[in-house]
Amino acid sequence: MLMQEEITTLAKKVCDRIVKDIITGTIAQGQKLNEPELARIHGISRGPLREAMSRLESMRLITRTPNIGARVVNLSYEELLEIYQIRESLEGLAAKLAAKAMTVEEKGNLRLLLNSHRKHILDTQGQSYFQQEGDVDFHYCIVHGSKNKRLIDMLAGDLYQLVRMYRYQFSLSSNRPQQALKEHDQICSAIEEGDEDLAEWLMKRHINNARNNIMQRMQIQSPIQDGNTQ
């Protein structure tokens, strides 16, 4: 019989794998999750799987309905627009604070991170810009560089994985990866120079461009009628 610590460790490992599958679209938005099948695929019992599913729900990547089961989230046009409006304001503020609060070493590490992202885009021939989560995520590093705990809780907590999913999936097969990298480079330069107002403006513009890209692609994939996705 598994001890609670073992269950938690297994749950985290499985959760991390499922998160990556959801972020990359291997498990599609809106797809129903077959829990017995997931347990079989990942070679775990129902206990660790239940804990993994709870973690996914807390990340807002899945929704669970009694007697129906779990399904990957699929936000409406309006819900996604609201999230990007929040991001534009809050991540702009994070960039402004980071330009002042980040140390020389932290700014240097941000530049090194961006160089590794440039290599990834070249390796994928400009077709994707997949950022691993946490300290190797450009946005995550800037949010933490703000040194504002409440801002970190909001942007690196509740909304983080959900934003990663849309950020990645709507950048595929377009010129967005190269453009996003260029915008990241400009933001990084402003932060390196300690230009708070420019860093804020560039980040807001970057989020707005990303939002416009997503909205345009959502409209192409599912035309909007009467203000709602059909």
Shared domain for 89 and 175, answered yes or no, is yes
Q: Is residue 147 part of a domain?
A: yes
Q: Is residue 23 part of a domain?
A: yes
Shared domain for 99 and 210, answered yes or no, is yes
Q: Is residue 230 part of a domain?
A: no
**Are residues 129 and 120 in contact, defined by beta-carbon separation less than 8 angstroms?**
yes
Q: Please, how many CA atoms are within 13 Å of residue 207, restricted to the half-sphere of its CB?
A: 25
**Are residues 53 and 195 in contact, defined by beta-carbon separation less than 8 angstroms?**
no
- Specify the pLDDT at position 2: 57
Shared domain for 162 and 52, answered yes or no, is no
* pLDDT, tens digit (0-9, with 9 covering 90-100), for 161-185: 888 887 777 766 556 778 888 999 9
Q: Please, how many CA atoms are within 13 Å of residue 193, restricted to the half-sphere of its CB?
A: 12
CATH number at residue 112: 1.20.120.530
Shared domain for 97 and 203, answered yes or no, is yes
* pLDDT, tens digit (0-9, with 9 covering 90-100), for 71-109: 999 888 888 888 889 999 999 999 999 999 999 999 999
Q: How many domains does the chain have?
A: 2
Q: What is the mean pLDDT of residues 109-116?
A: 92
Q: What is the mean pLDDT of residues 50-54?
A: 91
Which residue range forms the structural domain that includes residue 25? 4-72
